[in-house]
């Protein structure tokens, strides 16, 4: 498997590995490297991807410089390789919202994680990563996202997931492909709060959405997030009737 590394925003690199046998169209697993005084990796990838992703990161920053490792929730594609990263990057610290640390990461991670409150900013030096709790969006109660304030990039993980091996970044519609993918996977939790949680992200008015599966999006981000919230609420309403 080959991991490709285009830059999708200033100092933000998308590490993308295409796996053809997940879904009929195949599926991308994307990590993001945020280059700053204290570089941060967002998503570790699964343990099986570690050799390819580590080699790709090493082409941009030496392992010794990697300072932070974040992700949006506790699942293998988000954080399966975290302990391999902690072993390879001696100065790196896991960073996540408080709930994931209390429930899982204080136990799972080989070094103590840094816990962030909702709205707290992690200053990377040149980039500012604000943590946002998004319980049950896209799935677990510990879920959250990072919003990089200087370039208005939302690292939104599984939100707007779509299949195939599309361009690294697009302004074309991603909501339609994301709804089609979710109708196939059923990955979005349908909590009563999901619509408002997605509208809260939309109100940030991001300029770029860094998606874990599929193209990053540089179109009308607020509209895409609001549309995903509307989709969740339509499904909840349909289940109630
Ligand atoms: Fe997930
Ligand atoms: Fe994912």
- What confidence tens digit (pLDDT) does each residue in 159-206 have? 999 999 999 999 999 999 999 999 999 999 999 999 999 999 999 999
Token pair recorded at residue 163: 């299949």
Per-residue model confidence (pLDDT) at position 208: 97
What's the mean pLDDT when you consider all of the chain?
Answer: 96
* Residue 150 and residue 9 in contact, taking contact as beta carbons nearer than 8 Å: no
If one counts every other C-beta atom within 10 angstroms of the C-beta of residue 75, the result is 17
Distance 19 CA to ligand 2 centre (A): 13
Beta strands 27-34 and 12-19: pairing type? Answer: antiparallel
Distance 22 CA to ligand 1 centre (A): 14
Distance 218 CA to ligand 1 centre (A): 22
Ligand nearest to the CA of 46: 2
Distance 241 CA to ligand 2 centre (A): 31
Ligand nearest to the CA of 49: 2
The model's pTM: 0.97
Angle between helices 221-240 and 194-202 (to 10 degrees): 170
d(CA 104, CA 183): 29
- What confidence tens digit (pLDDT) does each residue in 9-47 have? 889 999 999 999 999 999 999 999 999 999 999 999 999
* Residue 155 and residue 145 in contact, taking contact as beta carbons nearer than 8 Å: yes
**Owner of token pair 């677990």:** 140
Ligand nearest to the CA of 143: 1
* Residue 3 and residue 55 in contact, taking contact as beta carbons nearer than 8 Å: yes
List of domains in the chain: 3-240 (3.60.15.10)
Ligand nearest to the CA of 19: 2
pLDDT band with cut points at 50, 70 and 90 for residue 4? confident
Residue range 211-221: mean pLDDT, rounded: 98
Per-residue model confidence (pLDDT) at position 5: 84
Ligand nearest to the CA of 187: 1
**Closest-CA residue to 145 (of 28, 62, 42):** 42
- What confidence tens digit (pLDDT) does each residue in 90-146 have? 999 999 999 999 999 999 999 999 999 999 999 999 999 999 999 999 999 999 999
Percent of the chain with pLDDT over 90: 95
């Amino acid at each position: 498997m080959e991991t490709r590394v285009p830059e999708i925003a200033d100092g933000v690199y998308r590490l993308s590995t295409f796996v053809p046998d997940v879904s009929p169209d195949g599926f991308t697993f994307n990590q993001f490297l945020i280059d700053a005084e204290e570089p941060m990796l967002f998503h570790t990838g699964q343990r099986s991807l570690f050799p390819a992703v580590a080699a790709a990161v090493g082409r941009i920053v030496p392992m010794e410089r990697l300072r932070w490792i974040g992700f949006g929730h506790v699942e293998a594609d988000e954080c399966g390789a975290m302990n391999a990263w902690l072993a390879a990057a001696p100065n790196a610290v896991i960073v996540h919202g408080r709930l994931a640390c209390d429930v899982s990461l204080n136990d799972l991670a080989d070094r103590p994680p840094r816990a962030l409150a909702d709205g707290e900013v992690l200053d990377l030096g040149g980039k500012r990563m604000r943590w946002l709790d998004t319980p049950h969006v896209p799935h677990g109660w510990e879920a959250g996202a990072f919003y990089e304030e200087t370039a208005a990039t939302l690292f939104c993980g599984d939100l707007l997931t779509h299949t195939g091996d599309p361009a690294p970044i697009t302004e074309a519609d991603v909501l339609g492909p994301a709804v089609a993918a979710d109708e196939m996977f059923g990955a979005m939790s349908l909590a009563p709060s999901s619509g408002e949680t997605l509208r809260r992200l939309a109100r940030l008015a991001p300029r770029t959405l860094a998606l874990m599966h599929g193209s990053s999006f540089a179109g009308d981000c607020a509209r895409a997030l609001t549309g995903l919230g509307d989709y969740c609420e339509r499904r909840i309403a349909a289940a109630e009737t």
